[in-house]
Amino acid sequence: MKKTFAITAIALAASATATGSFAQNYPAPNKNITFVVPFAAGGPTDRVARDLAEAMRKPLNATIVIENLGGAGSSIGTAKVANANPDGYTLLVNHIGMSTMPTLYRKLSFDVLKDFEFLGIVNDVPMTVIGRPNLPANNFAELRELINKDKENINLGHSGLGSAGHLCGLMFQSALNVPMTPVPYKGAAPAITDLMGGTIDLMCDQTTNTTSQIEAKKVKAYGVTTLEPLKVPALKDLPTLDSQGLKDFNVTIWHGLYAPKGTPPEVLKTINEALKVAVKDPDFIKKQEGLGAIVVNDQRVEPEEHKKFVAKEIATWGEVIKANGQFAD
């Protein structure tokens, strides 16, 4: 009995020593870190991930590669990371989908709050409410009046179930307490093309997708979804929806960094410290501003605050999605 206990104790001690040594040597020389992006290459989240990888490369002294694994509202790529080896070499960069998947997909193979280590929020991407160029409303007050008068005929395009535009549209309808006819597309590009052509009436989408069209006056812009006006030159004069009567309307498409549950604490600390360096990097900030994104400058860059924030977002979006009755499965 004593012999068995001694062998077990030695094994545990050896395991602890190995884990400690592994954590101290992270990241290992010549071993790549992979950022899994659960969306196609070229989209907003992919661009954020690539910029972040470049900004974190130097403080980590490691090569970071991007793996795009899209589909099912980001749940496929997210599941891969949930099931990955918890060694710090497979990480997830995802957006607000982390807070909407638990309600949109009722049969997920993972639990967002239980199966991941939270490493920090990266940025917030504001949204804009835009309309077709010939819509007979020149400001938000006129738009609200038009929607109330002709709600049966007003439609709202979005880039697919569970997309940023779909979620913002749900919140917009909830705030107005007016249902509109949804028109789903496979991506933001065809939706915005149809909006510019007058095929659909309205959209609520990320500044990463709408700023150039607003600047070129190819669409009508009615407001931004942040509580404070934006500093981006093309959008600095666009009022917030909050200031125009939709009290406390605040929707941003935030991005965060995650690791599989069980990743060693020292590895998590190393990654979080590199993230904190990245979000203060002038080049990274400039690139994010070019996308219309606001780099995080609050406590959500801390793992505990990141997790609290996501838990709150899950509750908020859960109510909106359930009230709408649209699910992805």
pLDDT digits (tens, 9 = 90+) for 24-52: 789 999 899 999 999 888 888 999 999 99
Per residue in 79-89, pLDDT (tens digit) is 999 999 999 99
> What is the pTM assigned to this prediction?
0.84
- For residues 321 and 99, the answer to whether their CB atoms sit within 8 Å is no
Q: Which residues contact 118 (CB under 8 A, 6 or more apart)?
A: 256, 258, 303, 304, 306, 307, 310
**Rounded distance between C-alpha atoms, residue 125 and residue 105, angstroms:** 23
Q: From its phi and psi, is residue 251 left (phi > 0), alpha (psi between -120 and 50) or beta?
A: beta
Mean of pLDDT over the chain:
91
Percent of the chain with pLDDT over 70: 93
Task: Decide if 40 contacts 46 (C-beta within 8 A).
Answer: yes
> With bands split at pLDDT 50, 70 and 90, how would you rate the model's confidence at 291?
confident
Is 50 exceeded by the pLDDT of residue 121?
Answer: yes
Q: pLDDT per residue over 146-161, tens digit each?
A: 999 998 899 999 988 8
Which domains occur in the chain, in start order?
27-125+253-324 (3.40.190.150), 127-244 (3.40.190.10)
Question: Where is average pLDDT lowest: 160-164, 165-169, 280-284?
Answer: 160-164
Cα angle 139-142-145, degrees, rounded to a multiple of 5: 150
